[in-house]
């Protein structure tokens, strides 16, 4: 499928915005996916292309928190259920009929918007939960040679990754909640673990999509460049833009887009 030059410009700008939003607050897919479908790209192909195009941004976010990730090598076994879940989610997406997926889209966008809206209350609740146990934020949990209760994280991580491979928006909120409820550690360290789990989920789905024949490569290429530029801009604006304010804007946009999809059917 070929787009007009102006459409490529608009898609690139949407990717720049998504890259910056992901760097600052999360929820960039709520900008890029509706833009792609507005260009006339079928919903499944738009979702597949979006996943592949935004992958470099997830890699950058993971690399930015490499210290937190490397300090938790004993927990990186969770990347296995994340990879399996991403693969299952990608397979389910490609097995979903285009008409059915379009019917699911408004519900998925609404769910992603609500997850994004719940991110800050969730973090405050988790921080309070940890504080009530007498461990200040930033204090890592003592290391244990056994996985103990942490092994249970594999099940919800797997199901969260299925959602991530299928649609992806709001995945980070789900993964952070799962990790914080099962693993006793600081939110700073869990956020780093969340980043690498999300990256592996998207990487597995993206690698699967590469061979699906559904990726619109010219669009994915310009979006990838735009997302990288947006991520760099977001990093520079990190101290000037309040993430909570930006998150509210993205949530409002997401809900509005969901309503439009509901109305259009």
Query: Domain coordinates of the chain in residue numbers?
Result: 5-136+148-264
- Beta carbons within 10 angstroms of residue 86's beta carbon: 33
3-state secondary structure of 141: coil
Q: Which has the minimum average pLDDT: 220-224, 241-245, 246-250?
A: 241-245
**Tell me, what's the pLDDT at 192?**
83
Cβ-Cβ contacts under 8 Å for 107 (sequence gap 6 or more): 258
pLDDT tens by residue, 132-160: 554 454 545 444 433 456 778 889 999 99
pLDDT tens by residue, 96-111: 999 999 999 999 989 8
% of the chain exceeding 70 in pLDDT? 89
Residue 176 has pLDDT above 70, yes or no: yes
**Tell me, what's the pLDDT at 130?**
60
- Beta carbons within 10 angstroms of residue 197's beta carbon: 32
3-state secondary structure of 144: coil
**Tell me, what's the pLDDT at 131?**
63
Distance CA 193, CA 180 (A): 10
**Averaged pLDDT score across all residues of the chain:** 84
**Tell me, what's the pLDDT at 201?**
94
3-state secondary structure of 44: helix
Place of tokens 């607050």: 25
3-state secondary structure of 237: coil
Nearest of 159, 171, 178 to residue 51 by alpha carbon: 171
* 8 A C-beta contact, residue 48 and residue 101: no
Band (240; pLDDT cuts 50, 70, 90): confident
* 8 A C-beta contact, residue 161 and residue 128: no
**Tell me, what's the pLDDT at 3?**
84
pLDDT tens by residue, 46-70: 999 999 998 887 777 777 778 888 8
* 8 A C-beta contact, residue 127 and residue 247: no
């Amino acid at each position: 499928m070929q787009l007009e030059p102006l459409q490529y410009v608009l898609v690139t700008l949407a990717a720049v915005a998504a890259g910056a939003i992901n760097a600052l607050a999360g929820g960039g897919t709520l900008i890029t996916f509706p833009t792609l479908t507005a260009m006339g790209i079928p919903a499944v192909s738009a979702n597949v292309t979006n996943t592949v195009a935004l992958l470099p941004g997830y890699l950058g976010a993971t690399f930015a928190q490499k210290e937190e990730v490397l300090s938790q090598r004993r927990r990186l076994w969770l990347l296995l259920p994340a990879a399996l879940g991403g693969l299952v989610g990608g397979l389910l997406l490609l097995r979903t009929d285009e008409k059915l997926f379009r019917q699911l889209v408004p519900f998925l966008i609404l769910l992603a918007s609500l997850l994004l809206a719940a991110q800050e209350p969730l973090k405050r609740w988790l921080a309070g939960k940890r504080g009530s146990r007498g461990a200040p934020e930033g204090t890592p949990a003592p290391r244990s040679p056994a996985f103990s209760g942490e092994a249970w994280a594999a099940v919800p991580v797997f199901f969260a990754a299925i959602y991530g491979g299928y649609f992806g928006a709001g995945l980070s909120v789900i993964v952070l909640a799962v990790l914080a409820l099962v693993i006793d550690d600081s939110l700073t360290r869990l956020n780093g673990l969340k980043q690498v789990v999300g990256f592996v989920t998207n990487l597995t789905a993206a690698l699967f999509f590469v061979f699906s024949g559904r990726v619109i490569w010219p669009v994915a290429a310009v979006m990838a460049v735009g997302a990288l530029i947006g991520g760099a801009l977001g990093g520079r604006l990190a101290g000037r833009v309040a993430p909570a304010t930006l998150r509210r804007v993205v949530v409002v946009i997401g809900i509005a887009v969901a309503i439009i999809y509901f109305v259009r059917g």
